Amino acid sequence: MTKPHILVNLPEGFYRTASLRPVFARLGRLGTVRKRSHNTPEEIAADLAWADFVLMWSWPVLGESLLDQAPRLRYVAHLDVSQAGARTALARGLPVSVARAAFSPAVSEMALTLILACLRKVSDYHAAMRDGREKWVASFPDNIDPMERELADRTVGIVGFGRIGRGLAALLAPFGCRVLAVDPFVPAAAVRKAGARRVTLEACLRSSDIVVLAAASNPGTRHLIGRRQVAALRKGSLLVNVARAALVDTDALIRRLRKGDMAAAIDVFNQEPLPSDHPLRRLPNAYLTPHRAGGTMGSVNRILTWLIDDTEAFVAGRPLRYPLTEAMTPALDA
């Protein structure tokens, strides 16, 4: 049997990463591998005409025009997948594997990291040490910052209780936090099993010391945290967004942050990179990270390993472990 042609289309840095070489070697044992780093449909079209299988990042979208140029294509493995591309491939009967869930542990961990860093004012103390403005423990308790708090026994509301939300709930368990979950689509039994209590969004905002956004982004969740919800956040609360910027009315959040009675930790923005003159950069109670929540080598290794597991399963005629189904596609624009 002729070995399949396997097109791999990933950012160039993936191929230079030593820890990923054994993973790519597995693909080489399955078929003839062509490694590319294309960014546009025009660049990838010729290679798609050659490929039996394709393993790629989320660009370019495998729309109708590209798939028309891929007569040999029998299987698609995506690290992340656009809704349009997924539906197009599925409509043509192509098996699709997607390993988006491999990001979840890293994102849950980042949410906890941001919570702890903000509550304990880590970045403020780091900046003070760099600038020589720090106050040492010898002056305790005269220099207590009323905004520095412990996580233990806090109420944490998690908006979106999928893998990321449930992963965060597990990480919070040793701190003795009360966890509130906002997610009408997760079965009540799963919420209880995770040690959380299901509440409405309004109750969550009203009752939580910390609110973490971990929901998918779709037309129904755009500005889920809008002007009214931003106003409802408790004084002294912390809003953490490791999901998507579209969940929050950024202008409303900026207005609230300017009052100085709450804080926010934000990893995702409507425009990325964030413009140098963006008002969020100038707010001392806005803690910003450059969309790094899922960006770990652990995530990359999990994603590639899972997708190659599925590629091997496809070659062997076994069921896929991470198949994309039509029922899953509405949640893929997160």
Q: If you count them, how many residues does the chain have?
A: 334
Neighbours of 57 (CB within 10 A): 18
Q: What's the burial of 175, exposed, middle or buried (CB within 10 Å: 0-12/13-18/19+)? A: middle
Active-site residue, from 42, 64, 272, 326: 272
Based on the residue annotation, tell me whether 109 is a catalytic residue of this protein: no
Based on the residue annotation, tell me whether 272 is a catalytic residue of this protein: yes
Active-site residue, from 78, 244, 256, 302: 244
Per the rule left: phi > 0, alpha: psi between -120 and 50, beta: everything else, 71 is alpha
φ/ψ (deg, to 5) at 283: -95, 120
CA angle 304, 308, 312 (to 5 degrees): 175
98 forms beta bridges with: 78
Counting Cα atoms < 13 Å in the Cβ hemisphere of 308 gives 21
Based on the residue annotation, tell me whether 234 is a catalytic residue of this protein: no
H or E element that contains 288: strand 286-288
Per the CB < 8 A criterion, the answer to whether 52 and 75 are in contact is: yes
List active site positions. 244, 272, 291
